[in-house]
Amino acid sequence: MVVGSVAAIGAGLAAIGAGIGIGQIGKGALEGMARQPEATNDLRTNMIVAAALVEAVALFAVVVSLLGNNLGV
Amino acid sequence: MSLKRIKPLLAVAFSVYICFFCNSSFAQETPHHEAASTEAPDHKKEEKFDVASTILEHIRDDHNWHLWGHHSVPLPVILKTDKGFEVFSGAQLVDEHHEPVVYNGNYPYKSFEGKIKIVNEDGTVNEEASKKVLDVSITKNVASLLFTVLLLIIIFVSVANAYKKRGVTSAPKGFQSLIEPIIIFVRDEIAKPYLGDRYTAFMPFLLTIFFFIWINNLLGMVPFFPGGANVSGNIAFTLTLALFTFIITTVNGKKHYWQHIFWMPGLPVPMKIFLIPIEVMGVFIKPISLTIRLFANMTAGHILVLSLIALIFILNSLAASALAVPFTVFISMIELLVGFIQAFIFAMLSALYFGMALEEHHEEELVL
Amino acid sequence: MLLEINPLVLPDPGLMIWSAIAFFILLFILGKFAWKPIMKAIAEREKGINDAIATAEKVKAEMAQLQSDNEKLLAQAREERATILKEAKDIKDKMINDAKEQAKTEAAKIMAETQQAIENQKMAAVIDLKNQVGNLVVEVAEKVLRRELANKPEQENYIKQLTDEIKLN
């Protein structure tokens, strides 16, 4: 269980980074949408793609946490 | 961005980094086979619900396709050892309670967490001999893979026939009208923006990879028989696809592409030398990032859904399902979206890498 | 020394081989029997649609051109009609005026001639009348004188009376 929790800390920290990143993306996209409502659709698509890319980075971190131990098994 | 904002980010990044080091060093001290051997009997005796092992059992590959309860479809096991090929049923590897047992083929085989190992007389793993075993079985993932191949061929050949039969002037109908916008989406949103006029040559690859990943993602979300295998959440599958992207990128690399890797133009010589290892690493990091992105996203999705369902068993009360089931439905919805987005991103980044390789001039952007 | 890697992130060679085979099969079969005809059909359809749109645009432009031409023609015709009408009216007015003038002068001429004729006739009649009256007077005077002069005493009586009267006056 101790091994698992170390991975969990790593995953949690990665989640913080991803959270900040996705928050920034959402902020930027919303500001853009507010300024240019006609570009909403374009912005939304790009926002989702960018968020997925950032999320992937967080998941890289999770995978790296997995590399070292067995997910608590 | 101001320095003030960067500071906490750096702090977070550094902590994450430190954390990985802790992880790996800690893990190094725990030999894997010891943990496995002490755990296996543990698992048997303990009736207490073990969330992690249950989830892992669901997302990993197996030689039997579990249906429900004690029913499962045995799949053919194909092994290649130094004594040649060997085929037997996956049912031979488990007893009636789905616990792994030793099967005596050319060697005594036993399945450990879905991987077939050669065991010694006393039941311990013979690591030395196990390395010689090449397992090319039709496992759960392979069966699912072949099923998706069949499904895709049926769908798209029928759609292609619909075009032949109905002609191009009439509006698409039925399945055709579902597929056509997606194909046009792939062409207009993925291929054209990154490949320009040369998109036609890469369209078959991009379309195939997009639909292959997408349908595997979707089938992975189906919890019962024909679906449920975690194919796109398996690193071998994603690595293979990423390798194809890597090979095509490398083969198509024009002079400009290689120049940017080995002798970055417009920079002082020390900087050029400094950049060579980074750029060379970048070439390999790109497919690795593709691999891990898809694998991690899909696996994380499966683990999340399974964890939410497992809440019921952890809390050991039916009341928890009132919370767990709506959450699972919600996450599943998101996973459907993620399944599409990841297929889109995989195809898009592939197109981007191809575009970078094909580029004759112009600045390129580094995307991992 | 490698890390003890979680089996989850350890690619399984068997599955890799199968994935590659599956992907090749898919790429080959779909590339040959699905993507090629579908892409061709979509391209053809789009070309057809684009052509149709272009044709429609062209036709529309032509229609607009025709319409504007029509309108131009119509306007021209209208203008022409207006000018013709105006001209006709002018001519009509002129004709009427001319006719009037002519009639007037003609009438005046006729009147003048008539008056002249009348005058002449009148004059002739008057002259004739004068002549006849003169003749008649002469004849009467002759007859009267002849009778008067036949009676001599009376003449002398009258002359005497006249001379008397002159004295009175």
**Predicted TM-score (pTM) of this structure:** 0.72
C6 near A CB under 8 A = yes
Residue of A nearest to B22 (CA): A6
pLDDT at position A3 is 52
Residue type, C116: Q
Label residue A69 by pLDDT band (50, 70, 90): low
How far apart are alpha carbons B173 and B163 in whole angstroms? 10
Distance (Å, whole) CA A22 – CA A53 = 9
Q: Is the pLDDT of residue B173 over 60?
A: yes
Contacts of B13 in chain A (CB under 8 A): 17
Q: Per DSSP, what are the bridge partners of residue B65? A: B73
Min mean pLDDT across B173-182, B275-284, C47-56 is at: B173-182
Residue A11: the pLDDT is 78
> Is it the case that residue C115 has pLDDT exceeding 80?
yes
Q: Which residues of A touch C (CB under 8 A)?
A: 63, 66-71
CB within 8 Å: B20 and A16? no
Q: Does residue C166 sit at the A interface (CB-CB below 8 Å)?
A: no
Q: What is the pLDDT of residue A24?
A: 93
The predicted model gives A42-59 an average pLDDT of: 84
| Number of A–C residue contacts, CB under 8 Å | 16
Per-residue pLDDT, C99: 86
State how far residue B158 is from chain C, nearest Cα, in angstroms.
8
- In chain C, domain spans: 8-168
pLDDT at position C9 is 75
Residue B235 backbone dihedrals phi, psi, to 5 degrees? -65, -25
Check whether B49 has a pLDDT greater than 80. no
Which residues in chain A touch residue C6, judged by CB atoms under 8 angstroms apart?
Answer: 66-71
- Over residues B180-197, the mean pLDDT reads 88
Q: What φ, ψ does residue B172 adopt, rounded to 5°?
A: -65, 150
d(CA C168, CA C17): 186
Q: In terms of Cα–Cα distance, which of B248, B227, B204 is closest to B352? A: B248
pLDDT for residue A23 = 93
- By the 8 A CB rule, do A68 and C8 touch? no
Per residue, what are the HEC states of chain B?
A: CCHHHHHHHHHHHHHHHHHHHHHHHHHHCCCHHHHHHHHHHHHHHCCCCCHHHHHHHHHCCCCEEEEECCEEEECEEEEEECCEEEEEEHHHHECCCCCECCEECCCEEEEECCEEEEECCCCCECHHHHCCCEECCCCHHHHHHHHHHHHHHHHHHHHHHHHHHHCCCCCCCCHHHHHHHHHHHHHHHHHHHHHHHHHHHHHHHHHHHHHHHHHHHHHHHCCCCCCCCCCCCCHHHHHHHHHHHHHHHHHHCCHHHHHHHHCCCCCCHHHHHHHHHHHHHHHHHHHHHHHHHHHHHHHHHHHHHHHHHHHHHHHCCCCHHHHHHHHHHHHHHHHHHHHHHHHHHHHHHHHHHHHHHHCCCCCCCCCC
Comparing CB atoms, the residue among A52, A57, A60 nearest residue B341 is A52
By the 8 A CB rule, do B346 and B290 touch? yes
The residue that leads in pLDDT, A4 or C88, is C88
Rounded alpha-carbon distances, angstroms, from residue B358 to B123, B131, B257, C54: 55, 40, 7, 33
DSSP β-ladder status, B108-112 and B103-104: antiparallel
Q: Which residue of A has its CA nearest to B235?
A: A63
- Sort strands B84-89 and B103-104 into parallel, antiparallel or unpaired: unpaired
Average pLDDT over residues C133-149: 81
Residue B277 confidence (pLDDT) above 60 = yes
Which amino acid is residue B134, in one-letter code?
A: L
Residue A13 vs residue B218, higher pLDDT: B218
Is C7 at the interface with chain B, CB within 8 A?
A: yes
> pLDDT-based confidence at B9, cuts 50/70/90?
low
Q: Which residues contact B53 (CB under 8 A, 6 or more apart)?
A: A73, B43
Exposed, middle or buried, A62 (CB in 10 Å: 0-12/13-18/19+)?
buried
Between CA B188 and CA B203 the distance in angstroms is 11
pLDDT band at B237 (very low <50, low <70, confident <90, very high): very high
Query: Does residue B210 or residue B80 have the better pLDDT?
Result: B210
Whether A5 has a pLDDT exceeding 70, the answer reads no
CA dihedral sign of residues B165, B168, B174, B176:
positive
On the question of pLDDT at B200 being above 80, the answer is yes
Give ipTM to 2 decimals: 0.78
The tokens for B144 are 């699912």
Higher pLDDT, C77 or B53: C77
Q: Rounded mean pLDDT of chain B?
A: 79
Residue B173 has φ and ψ, to the nearest 5°, of -135, 150
Question: What b-and-e string marks burial along B17-29, b requiring 16 or more CB atoms within 10 Å of the CB?
Answer: eebbeebbeebee
Tens digit of pLDDT for each residue in C148-157?
777 778 778 8
**Is C2 a residue whose pLDDT tops 50?**
no
pLDDT number for residue B25 = 36
Question: C-alpha angle with apex B129: B123 to B131, nearest 5 degrees?
Answer: 115
pLDDT in tens, B314-366: 888 888 888 889 999 999 999 999 999 999 999 999 998 998 888 876 555 55
Minimum distance, in Å, between the CA of residue C3 and any CA atom of chain A: 6
Distance CA C76, CA C54 (A): 32
Q: How close C77 gets to chain A, by Cα (Å)?
A: 49
What are chain C's partners, defined as 3 or more CB pairs within 8 angstroms? Answer: A, B
